Amino acid sequence: MIGWVLGGLALFLILVGLAAALVGPRLPLGGDRVAVIAIEGVITDGREVIEQLHRYRDLPSVRAVVLRINSPGGAVAPSQEIFQEVQKFRRQTGKPVVASLGSVAASGGYYIAAAADRIVANPGSITGSIGVILQIPNVSGLLQKVGIKTTVIKAGENKDLGSITRDLTEGERRILQEVMDDVHGQFIEAVAQGRRMDRARVEPLADGRIFSGRQALGLGLVDELGDLPDAIERAGGLVGIPGRPKVIQERRRRSWLWDLLTEALGPVFPAGGTIPPAAVYYLWR
């Protein structure tokens, strides 16, 4: 009998923990506010940021948005999706968006920032890295040492392009380089469009190098130097909110039990720390 009670109690605690983890954010109502959306870590999925933009689009009390970016970039598609949603948000609502660059807002992080009305960077923020990278490991030597051979049966000459069990052929290398050049060109076009710069002015800056916030200011990649409170005040000023605006910033509610579960399952289901090697990234390494 005691065992059944303890088992039921354990199940109840697990359900409570999961419910606390999944509960939606509570958004304060009334008064003009600036919403802060955090973009942190390696970008692998844009859904959370996009969902917040959708909520703030329909919330009259949110007059402006600040994107607080602390990210070295990440996967190409999510970076592009967030960029497009930020532009759509600005166009459909008329609400200004200010990007605030933290310690690092490089590559895909800067790609997203370029969609904002204004970019505010700390003097020492690391930004830029306008480039694209693809890394394919080659484990053929290791497999040979341990006596493992692979057999590939394919239909389509390039179906196993990027295999980690052999070297790339020259033809495969050309194919991948063409993809890289095209995706790189998309990055340059996004920066030129978002920053209202000529493509010819962006191209010399798009060799993958990083810049400090102060260097980026001189190059026209950011608009001003300042910290997060400065960016919030700037966003408020764009819509006529006097003084220091009230702020909305969503925080996912998580219980100690959820933290314990995610920590235990971290090695099985990594969350943003490790990324698959054979993919195309707007990422500063």
Over residues 133-190, the pLDDT tens digits come to 999 988 988 888 898 988 889 899 889 888 888 989 999 999 999 999 999 999 999 9
What's the pLDDT at 63? Answer: 97
What's the pLDDT at 12? Answer: 52
Query: Is 154 considered catalytic here?
Result: no
Structure-token pair, residue 141 = 């030597």
- 165 φ, ψ (degrees, to nearest 5): -100, 5
Q: How confident is the model at residue 269 (pLDDT cuts 50, 70, 90)?
A: very low
CATH topology of domain 26-283: 2-enoyl-CoA Hydratase; Chain A, domain 1 (3.90.226)
Query: Is 159 considered catalytic here?
Result: yes
Whether 59 shows a pLDDT value over 70: the answer reads yes
Q: In 3D, which of 73, 62, 64 has the Cα closest to residue 39? A: 73
Whether 23 shows a pLDDT value over 50: the answer reads no
R_g (Cα) of the chain, nearest Å: 23
- The mean of the pLDDT values for the chain is 86
Whether 247 shows a pLDDT value over 90: the answer reads yes
Amino acid at 94: G
Whether 239 shows a pLDDT value over 50: the answer reads yes
What's the pLDDT at 24? Answer: 47
What's the whole-number mean pLDDT along residues 104-133?
98
Terminal Cα-to-Cα distance of the chain (whole angstroms): 57
Q: How confident is the model at residue 8 (pLDDT cuts 50, 70, 90)?
A: low
Count of CB atoms within 10 A of residue 49's CB? 20
User: 155: exposed, middle or buried (C-beta count within 10 Å: 0-12, 13-18, 19+)?
Assistant: exposed
Catalytic residue among 107, 125, 129, 163: 107
Quote the crossing angle between the two packed helices 76-93 and 47-57, to the nearest 10°: 0
Dihedral, 42, 99, 227, 283 alpha carbons, nearest 10: 30
pTM of the model: 0.81
Q: What percent of the chain has pLDDT over 90?
A: 66
What's the whole-number mean pLDDT along residues 128-136?
95
What's the pLDDT at 252? Answer: 59
Structure-token pair, residue 99 = 């990007």
Q: State the Cα–Cα distance between residues 64 and 56, nearest whole angstrom.
A: 9
| Structure-model confidence comparison of residues 8 and 249, the more confident one | 249
Whether 229 shows a pLDDT value over 70: the answer reads yes
Q: State the Cα–Cα distance between residues 110 and 73, nearest whole angstrom.
A: 8
Amino acid at 201: R
| Structure-model confidence comparison of residues 164 and 88, the more confident one | 88
